[in-house]
Structure 1
Amino acid sequence: MTTPLRRTPLVKRRRYGFDLRSTALFFVFLAVLVSVLGLAARVAAGAVERRPAWVFVLVAIAVGGCLGLRRRWRLAGVARRAAAALDEAAREAAEVLEAPTVPTQREPALADADTVGVAVDYDALTPEEFEEAIAGLCERDGCTEVEVVGGAGDLGADVLAVTPDGRRVVIQCKHYGESHRVGSQDLQRFGGTCFTVHEADVAVLVCTSDFTAPAVEYAEQCGIVCVNRDALEAWTDRTGPRPWEAALEGGEAGWETAGAGI
């Protein structure tokens, strides 16, 4: 008996060949891509060279772009933040370049005090700033050797100065509220050190409120010049006498007498 032969099925083999057209298109696409990337790199380098601050913006945009491949919805937020940061940096740089040079002075609150009639908001100052402001008034009016010495162990002296005519001024500053008047005890403590310890020729107590009657009486007896809120404002805007001038006018009797009617 004849047994039929089985034919082995033909296996289709994948043919590999060289395709000139596909290869050429691939290299053309690659060349275009490299050219675009090179142009972008040159533009970015030029921008960074002109404005170094932009390197941070470019890095932020690049990082945002990478993250955007995973989460595209974050890309817009990153770009907005980068643009806002760039705009803020540009504004700050412009303000720094355009800001005029302002002379250094002891107390900014006295920037306009050289003009008659200009008021200073002493209530807005801290006690330390108030002492600096009083020292600034002394400097403005020609005093020399002006020094702020207030603090622990000052023995009642907050500001020391020498008047234009050579007298030594010792000033104590009381930054009180309107309803808190300076009492006789404050004057007594100051009176016990201003002349004997600090060797004052003119002793002055300046406050942002007022003095009690016993305090004024004690000051008149000891020769301490009392500068209340009204007298301080008059000193500031040049409509009243300086404390050392008031001492001479009042015969060392104090501002309350010498500056009456201000």
Structure 2
Amino acid sequence: MLALSLFVLWQYMWVLIAFVVATVVSAGGSLLWRTHRRERGGDRIWREQNRRMELERSMAVIDAMGWQDFEEYVAELCRRDGCTKVMVVGGSGDLAADILGDLHDGRRLVVQVKHYAPHRKVPSGDMQKFVGMAFAEHHADVALFVATCEYSGSARQLALKHHIVALNRDLFGSWNSGAPLPSLLGLSGAGAGPDRRRRQRRA
């Protein structure tokens, strides 16, 4: 009888040991899986932050770009801010449009890009050409002119008159640094800021 009792106890002991081992293994596997998922999530966040940092380059780096690289860069900023069907079409025969796409709300976006030296000004001729083509040829709902410099007075007046969103160097810098494109679209031609002469007359 004693031998039978010891045998039963021995069997139960192995069952208990097996149960404890299975519990530990299961808990360890669950912990490893959660750790793996957390690391994957962290890696995904890091990659997204790294991509954003890659996009938000300094103006010195942007000034050193070629005009074609700058067009591609502006297109990527459009994609960053939710634009779809973005295409770089600049080159001969582009009909004054360098980038075409759709805004996040479906409106047609037409972009003209000028990679000029910071000391230059966009002349009225560049703006005239864009005004003439953006709506008639490309059927723009939103016409965006992006420059790495300032606008001449006559170019600004044309932009204001024809509701062109004209981003000067400073506002492009804000866009480049993370300001979303939709927040800049309400500026129309006032992208270079208020007319200083007008402010002086009012003073």
**Taking structure 2 as the reference length, what is the TM-score of the superposition?**
0.65
1:119 Cα deviation (Å)? 2.7
1:216 alignment counterpart: 156
CA contact (8 A) 1:220 1:253 kept: yes
Listed as ranges, the matches of 1:52-201 within 5 Å are: 112-113=53-54, 119-120=58-59, 121-201=61-141
- Greater CA radius of gyration, 1 or 2? 1
Alignment coverage as a number of residue pairs:
145
Q: What percentage of residue pairs aligned between the two structures are identical?
A: 39
Q: Counterpart amino acid of 1:167?
A: R
The structure that is strand-richer by fraction is 2
Aligned equivalents of 1:149, 1:139: Cα separation in 2: 15
The structure that is helix-richer by fraction is 2
1:246 aligns with 2:184: yes
Aligned equivalents of 1:173, 1:148: Cα separation in 2: 10
1:255 alignment counterpart: 191
1:254 Cα deviation (Å)? 4.2
1:256 Cα deviation (Å)? 3.0
1:195 Cα deviation (Å)? 0.4
Q: Which runs of at least 4 in structure 1 moved beyond 2 Å after TM superposition?
A: 244-247, 252-258
2:174 alignment counterpart: 234
SS in 1 for 2:82: coil
Q: Which blocks of at least 5 consecutive residues in structure 2 are unaligned?
A: 1-50, 195-203
SS in 1 for 2:134: coil
- Please provide the CA RMSD for this pair: 2.4
